[in-house]
Amino acid sequence: MDYNFQEIEKNWQQYWRDHHTYRASIDTTRQKYYVLDMFPYPSGAGLHVGHPLGYIASDIYSRYKRLNGFNVLHPMGYDAYGLPAEQYAIQTGQHPEVTTVKNIARYREQLDKIGFCFDWEREVRTCDPKYYKWTQWVFLKMFNSYYDTALDKARPISDLVDRFSAHGTEGCNAYGSEDLNFSAEQWNAMSKAERDDVLMNYRIAYRGNTMVNWCPKLGTVLANDEVSEGVSVRGGYPVEQKLMSQWCLRVSAYAPRLLRDLDTINWTESIKETQRNWIGRSEGAEMLFPLVGKEEKLLIFTTRADTIFGVTFMVLAPESDYVNLVVTPEQREAVDAYLDEVKHKTERERLIEKKVSGVFSGSYAVNPVSGKEIPIYISDYVLAGYGTGAIMAVPAHDSRDYAFARHFNLPIIPLIEGADVSEESFDAKEGVMTNSSNERLQLNGLQVKEAIAKTKEYIAEACIGRVKVNYRLRDAIFSRQRYWGEPFPIYYDENNRPQALDESELPLQLPEVDAFLPTEDGEPPLGRAKNWVAANGRPLELCTMPGFAGSSAYYLRYMDPHNDSALVGKEADEYWRQVDLYVGGTEHATGHLIYSRFWNKFLYDYGVVCEPEPFKKLINQGMIQGRSNFVYRIKDTNTFVSHGLKKQYDVTPIHVDVNIVKNDVLDLEKFKQWRPEFADAEFVLEDGKYICGWAIEKKSKSMYNVVNPDDIVERYGADTLRLYEMFLGPVEASKPWDTNGIDGVNRFLKRLWGLFFKGDEMQLVDEQPTAEALKSIHKLIKKVTGDIEQFSYNTSVAAFMICVNELSAMKCRSRAVYHDLVVLLAPFAPHIAEELWHSLGETTTVCDAQWPKWNDEYLKEDTVKYAVSFNGKPRYNIEVAAGTDKADIEQLALNHEGAARWLDGKTPRKIIVVPGKLVNIVV
């Protein structure tokens, strides 16, 4: 009986299904371990070889933990809402749900073939009303909450209402979009609509007028993390800035906690750093600049308070509220023209042009320290959304201000000794201050850092500003003008103010529409739904939630997926608590991984969950890149020349399907059949073979470098695929998918099989293992145990190969040894492990076995190697019996046949004999 992987894999997959082998349930007598993969978006293309990389890695860890006695939760589900299904629906008229369900079925089929230990009874789908009921529920809770900066947590909005009616905003610690000030009397005198407007300033899920990334092509707004370099991440369409009323989540309120708690989680430094940059904490000062001839003052934010004496002008963002305040009638026309120009530039154009532009407002401000009058400009290099949307410009020490000053011929005053600002600004925060003293403030002679501190003190004392910490993190824009997403549990009252549905009305199900396009009046697709009204007859919200809504808390739902009365029950939450190991790609660093942390913290504030962070440890699997193959056609012919000979001809490289190439050798027959125009192709071969060229490129259909895991499973089996994906290199490294070498792994499994069976005959016997065999297997136990803990699976696979080769060479037939080997292999290649386990006469499944422990006694070396150096020069190595003492080793080193060659009869000044640790012997 040969190693028949097809039969073995089919049978065991069936067995696991029939016996619910991977069902997880709460068991307080055992320690839990929660392993999670980022759930996939079920795209029409099906699973590709990049997907399973992370899934296999986490599957190995899950199985390993289980063999070590942990109660493992390892679920899987689908991030089922998304733009591609909807785009497809627009094109074909097919309901996105239909394609989604179809794609999910295909994903499931593919996943099943790889032999994962997922508990499918806990599957979630974000588009399932039973699931999105809880997405809507959390949204309602956010709508009904505000953030209390004193308690540093979310609180019910009703508390704030009570507070306002008793004290107004006096001593109020609510985090809001704007600083509002009113008394209790004023509050009580407000109409319902006015109060609603005020509360909207504080709600955690709020509707606000913000500049959004509007993608005309997709017909929707996008979050910051969905836009990269001025185009949409999905589709690559241009994105422009637009002021719109949108649902937002007040993520910015959680910025300090999101930053601080990064120190408590076990993620890679690089991804934590990415989040730190995204959150972007910056410590500075806000300062008030009086306006010439006006009561009002300009509030600016700066991190360089020390450069106050170098301020030669001010700049406002085009969208700043200050603009109308400062524009003089003479400048009105010029300013309007500029604002119009800015408005029509897309984000992308702004990024590409990088041209200095701006306009003088006509007004002047007064430097509050020097008393000098300085002009106020308007320019799009100042962003409305950061700080106060207004800056003090210090051209000598800021490159952007410098460029602006040069363009408009504004004065540049250097403030740091020795700084040469004739060509460029001096941006470094170092040096000694100069030109920075008057009767109010003396900074000359101070270091920059001291000067910043002293200026901050001064502005506080002089009441011209305050110390302020700013965050770059913006509130998340939460509306999408699309169909295929969660409906908002929101209706609009007679004042057109949004109101929450009652919890009992959830889930609010997605209605049917006749087309998935915007309506004729430009309303989102839900505008087409008939009877899209709340129970009270009022119209419901027409936008839907974005993709990250459903993915922000899915890890919680897995803990208790069928609970109809809570997102997650107390018992389940307190047992499973948080994800112990989360595996997924780095592309979610500033999206999903921030939103989930925010979402979790919000729920933590209300005690819905008991852990402040959702993902304790995070492993980022690398991207699988494509590896394309090329054939070289001689120009104007149908003749193809092999890679090694192509220099002799004038050739055009053409992508060739990697699936008809093996180890870079082209299958000529398949090539001829591949496309009609190649049917009568001719070839110039080298050594009788056609060798293809190759390149690392993105995976794409047009480059014919997409490899489907099904084909690999079909040809080599799931166990080979699993081992090979791990053997390819470290899980965390990006690497091209390259099937060269998969044979090696397959051969290993065949060799292993051959150790158990010769023909149909079982080869193993109940005999005492030799010391040699014990050493080999215990070396493996130690190596694999250590490797799995460090996710170093590629070296584990190598260790398996070595061990199998050793056992084979020593003709070891002892069952006891193979018993351990099979258990060790079970996480990596579960099907063959089950089969071999069974053949050893075991009646349980290998999943319920015990992970073996190694015994150091068996691992002792009888000899120890030493490196010897004389007089500081490394010379040679000697090997001595273990336990030899220092003096003897030294003598042996001297007596070594090599010693004479180096010593030339002389006595060495210094001998160093080194085993693992450094031993110095001076003679």
Whether omega before 852 lies within 30 degrees of 0, making that bond cis, reads no
Report the distance separating Cα 245 and Cα 450, nearest Å: 44
Which of 182, 386, 678, 757 touches RNA (CB under 7 A)?
Answer: 386
Report the distance separating Cα 562 and Cα 120, nearest Å: 12
Q: Which of residues 531-590 bind RNA (CB under 7 A)?
A: 586-587, 589-590
Which of 150, 765, 887, 918 touches RNA (CB under 7 A)?
Answer: 918
User: DSSP class of residue 732?
Assistant: T
Residue 129 contacts residue 137 (beta carbons within 8 Å): no
| Residue 774 lies near RNA (rule: CB under 7 A) | no
Q: How far does the chain reach from its first CA to its final CA, in angstroms? A: 66
CB of 466 to RNA, least distance (A): 15
Q: Which of residues 587-606 bind RNA (CB under 7 A)?
A: 587, 589-590
User: DSSP class of residue 396?
Assistant: G
The vertex-544 CA angle with 541 and 546, nearest 5°, equals 145
Which tokens in the block code for residue 823?
């258990």
Question: In terms of DSSP H, where are the helices of 168-241?
Answer: 184-189, 192-200
CB of 6 to RNA, least distance (A): 17
| Residue 210 lies near RNA (rule: CB under 7 A) | no
Report the distance separating Cα 394 and Cα 403, nearest Å: 11
Q: Which of residues 876-905 bind RNA (CB under 7 A)?
A: 877, 879
Q: Which stretch binds RNA (CB under 7 A): 29-37, 96-104, 607-615, 793-801?
A: 793-801
Dihedral angle, C-alpha 752, 753, 758, 763, nearest 10 ° = 70
**According to the 3-state scheme, what is the secondary structure of 479-546?**
CECCCCCCECCEEECCCCCEEECCHHHCCCCCCCCCCCCCCCCCCCHHHHCCCCECCCCCEECCCECC
Closest residue by Cα to residue 132 from 78, 204, 74, 203? 78
Q: Which stretch binds RNA (CB under 7 A): 111-119, 137-145, 246-254, 786-794?
A: 786-794
Shorter beta-carbon distance to RNA: residue 486 or 738? 738
Which of 517, 786, 880, 902 touches RNA (CB under 7 A)?
Answer: 786
Q: Cβ neighbours of residue 883 under 8 Å, at least 6 residues apart? A: none
CB of 231 to RNA, least distance (A): 11
CB of 893 to RNA, least distance (A): 12
Residue 826 contacts residue 818 (beta carbons within 8 Å): no
Shorter beta-carbon distance to RNA: residue 284 or 852? 284
CB of 701 to RNA, least distance (A): 19
CB of 459 to RNA, least distance (A): 13
Distances (CA, A) of 372 to 100, 291, 574: 65, 11, 63
For 327, how many CA atoms within 13 A lie in the half-sphere containing its CB?
20
Q: What mask, x for binding RNA by CB under 7 A, covers residues 285 to 324?
A: ----------------xxxx------------x-------
| Residue 741 lies near RNA (rule: CB under 7 A) | yes
| Residue 873 lies near RNA (rule: CB under 7 A) | yes
| Residue 663 lies near RNA (rule: CB under 7 A) | yes
Q: What is the strand order of the sheet 359-366 is part of? A: 359-366, 373-378, 313-316, 390-393
Length of the chain: 923
Report the distance separating Cα 752 and Cα 800, nearest Å: 10
Which of 607, 883, 905, 916 touches RNA (CB under 7 A)?
Answer: 916
Sign of CA dihedral 264, 267, 270, 275: negative
Shorter beta-carbon distance to RNA: residue 394 or 846? 394
Q: Which of residues 316-375 bind RNA (CB under 7 A)?
A: 317, 350-351, 353-354
CB of 366 to RNA, least distance (A): 19
Q: What mask, x for binding RNA by CB under 7 A, covers residues 673 to 702?
A: --------------x---------------
Strands (E), 593-656: 615-620, 624-634, 639-641, 651-656
Q: Which stretch binds RNA (CB under 7 A): 204-212, 244-252, 738-746, 847-855?
A: 738-746
**According to the 3-state scheme, what is the secondary structure of 680-699?**
CCEEECECCECECEEEEECC
Which of 144, 149, 282, 437 touches RNA (CB under 7 A)?
Answer: 282
Report the distance separating Cα 560 and Cα 572, nearest Å: 6
| Residue 107 lies near RNA (rule: CB under 7 A) | no
Q: Which of residues 126-165 bind RNA (CB under 7 A)?
A: none
Q: What is the largest CA-CA distance in the chain?
A: 107
| Residue 235 lies near RNA (rule: CB under 7 A) | no
Residue 726 contacts residue 794 (beta carbons within 8 Å): yes
| Residue 228 lies near RNA (rule: CB under 7 A) | yes
Q: Which stretch binds RNA (CB under 7 A): 330-338, 377-385, 506-514, 666-674?
A: 377-385
Coil, strand or helix at 737: coil
Q: Which stretch binds RNA (CB under 7 A): 74-82, 177-185, 279-287, 819-827?
A: 279-287
φ/ψ (deg, to 5) at 147 = -105, 125
| Residue 4 lies near RNA (rule: CB under 7 A) | no
Q: Which of residues 13-72 bind RNA (CB under 7 A)?
A: none
Shorter beta-carbon distance to RNA: residue 284 or 827? 284
| Residue 262 lies near RNA (rule: CB under 7 A) | no
Which of 144, 470, 708, 785 touches RNA (CB under 7 A)?
Answer: 470
Shorter beta-carbon distance to RNA: residue 286 or 835? 286
CB of 386 to RNA, least distance (A): 4
Strands 624-634 and 693-697: antiparallel
Question: In terms of DSSP H, where are the helices of 814-882?
Answer: 815-825, 830-839, 856-859
| Residue 423 lies near RNA (rule: CB under 7 A) | no
Shorter beta-carbon distance to RNA: residue 879 or 888? 879
Report the distance separating Cα 822 and Cα 846, nearest Å: 8
Q: Which of residues 794-813 bind RNA (CB under 7 A)?
A: 794-795, 797-798, 801-802, 805, 809
H or E element at residue 571: helix 570-576
Which of 77, 96, 284, 524 touches RNA (CB under 7 A)?
Answer: 284
CB of 724 to RNA, least distance (A): 9
| Residue 387 lies near RNA (rule: CB under 7 A) | yes
| Residue 864 lies near RNA (rule: CB under 7 A) | no
CB of 242 to RNA, least distance (A): 16
**Other beta carbons within 10 Å of 916:** 8
Total interface residues for RNA by CB under 7 A:
85
| Residue 628 lies near RNA (rule: CB under 7 A) | no
Q: Which stretch binds RNA (CB under 7 A): 631-639, 741-749, 814-822, 832-840?
A: 741-749
| Residue 756 lies near RNA (rule: CB under 7 A) | no
Shorter beta-carbon distance to RNA: residue 75 or 626? 626
H or E element at residue 146: strand 145-148
Q: Which stretch binds RNA (CB under 7 A): 59-67, 379-387, 554-562, 756-764?
A: 379-387
Which of 382, 412, 421, 723 touches RNA (CB under 7 A)?
Answer: 382
**Other beta carbons within 10 Å of 90:** 15
Q: Which stretch binds RNA (CB under 7 A): 64-72, 406-414, 761-769, 787-795?
A: 787-795
Residue 248 contacts residue 208 (beta carbons within 8 Å): yes
Q: Which residue has the tokens 């085993």?
A: 915
Residue 184 contacts residue 318 (beta carbons within 8 Å): no
Closest residue by Cα to residue 600 from 118, 258, 122, 178? 258
Shorter beta-carbon distance to RNA: residue 883 or 916? 916
Which of 869, 884, 896, 921 touches RNA (CB under 7 A)?
Answer: 869
Which of 6, 165, 637, 740 touches RNA (CB under 7 A)?
Answer: 740
Q: Which stretch binds RNA (CB under 7 A): 87-95, 160-168, 706-714, 914-922?
A: 914-922
